[in-house]
């Protein structure tokens, strides 16, 4: 079952892989950008960009290098928004035309409990209470990891709209176990989208194949 296809709406094109194929398209500029990285990082960097180019192809965008900006943000072709994620056993990319979508954030994580101490450093008091309730009502999901994953998707959706930092304490996430959606309420002034200030993002999540995946898609103001 495709993970990204489960959480992304139609205007967003996506591609995902669960390993690193031998044959992936790369560009010399990309190879240079990771030339000093460890082999694992080189593989995930190349594979996720291969995925991104497949998704961009579905938008009719010709293959081109996807380099990174000063805050590590992907530099998409003109008129395109998107996001990439990689973790053990997963690489995924999602892209859309700016005419149809204002921002995208995706994040994948292994479906495992967070390492000791991480939850305390990323969760607000309200989120901590929510995690305790969900652990009792829906014990098969690692809600702490899902919270972390939703926060990272929040940052990836936020950054292209603001070009500023957003800390883990700056958004309060509420997860709905029945609809597999979440709301990320911004605790700082939100970005202006088409002249309207966003107070929150809404997202979808899925758990499958030993992974948890979250996606936020910001549509144009109605």
Ligand X SMILES: CC(C)(COP(=O)(O)OP(=O)(O)OC[C@H]1O[C@@H](n2cnc3c(N)ncnc32)[C@H](O)[C@@H]1OP(=O)(O)O)[C@@H](O)C(=O)NCCC(=O)NCCS
Positions in the binding site for ligand X (CB under 6 A): 45, 48, 68, 71-74, 83-87, 107, 151-152, 154-156, 159, 166-168, 170-171
Q: How far apart are CA 87 and CA 64, in angstroms?
A: 24
Query: Is the CB of 15 or the CB of 85 nearer to ligand X?
Result: 85
User: Closest distance between ligand X and the C-beta of residue 51, in Å?
Assistant: 11
Query: Is the CB of 38 or the CB of 136 nearer to ligand X?
Result: 38
Is residue 57 within 8 A of residue 51, CB to CB? The reply is: no
User: Closest distance between ligand X and the C-beta of residue 172, in Å?
Assistant: 9
| CB < 8 Å & 24+ apart, contacts of 163-169 | 163/71, 168/121, 168/122, 168/123, 169/124
- Alpha-carbon dihedral angle through residues 60, 105, 165, 130, given to the nearest 10 degrees: 170
User: Closest distance between ligand X and the C-beta of residue 159, in Å?
Assistant: 3
Query: Is the CB of 9 or the CB of 167 nearer to ligand X?
Result: 167
Query: Is the CB of 11 or the CB of 110 nearer to ligand X?
Result: 110
What SS3 class is residue 142?
coil
User: Closest distance between ligand X and the C-beta of residue 25, in Å?
Assistant: 15
Query: Is the CB of 43 or the CB of 141 nearer to ligand X?
Result: 43
User: Closest distance between ligand X and the C-beta of residue 1, in Å?
Assistant: 20
Helix (H) or strand (E) holding 33: helix 28-33
User: Closest distance between ligand X and the C-beta of residue 26, in Å?
Assistant: 13
Query: Is the CB of 67 or the CB of 129 nearer to ligand X?
Result: 67
Sheet holding 80-87, edge to edge: 13-17, 90-97, 80-87
DSSP letter (8 states) at residue 168:
G
- Of residues 186, 202, 191, 184, the one with CA closest to residue 162: 191
Query: Is the CB of 80 or the CB of 83 nearer to ligand X?
Result: 83
Is residue 74 within 8 A of residue 49, CB to CB? The reply is: no
User: Closest distance between ligand X and the C-beta of residue 44, in Å?
Assistant: 7
Backbone angles phi, psi at 19, to 5 degrees: -155, -175
Residue 125: CB atoms within 10 Å? 8
């Amino acid at each position: 079952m495709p993970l990204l296809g489960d959480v992304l709406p139609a205007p967003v094109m996506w591609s995902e892989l669960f390993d690193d194929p031998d044959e992936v398209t790369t560009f010399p500029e990309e190879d240079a950008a990771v030339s000093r990285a460890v082999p694992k990082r080189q593989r995930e960097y190349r594979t996720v960009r291969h995925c991104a180019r497949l998704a961009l192809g579905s938008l009719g965008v010709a293959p081109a290098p996807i380099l990174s900006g000063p805050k590590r943000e992907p530099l998409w072709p003109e008129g395109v928004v998107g996001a990439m994620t990689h973790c053990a056993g997963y690489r995924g990319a999602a892209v859309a035309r700016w005419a149809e979508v204002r921002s995208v954030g995706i994040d994948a994580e292994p479906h495992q409990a967070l390492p000791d101490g991480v939850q305390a450093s990323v969760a607000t008091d309200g989120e901590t209470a929510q995690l305790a309730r969900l652990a009792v009502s829906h014990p098969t999901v690692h809600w702490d990891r899902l919270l972390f994953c939703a926060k990272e998707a929040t940052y990836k959706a936020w950054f292209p709209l603001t070009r500023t930092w957003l800390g883990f304490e700056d958004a309060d996430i509420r997860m709905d176990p029945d609809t597999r959606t979440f709301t990320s309420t911004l605790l700082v002034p939100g970005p202006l989208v088409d002249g309207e200030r966003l107070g929150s993002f809404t997202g979808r999540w899925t758990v499958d194949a030993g992974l948890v995946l979250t996606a936020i898609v910001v549509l144009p103001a109605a």
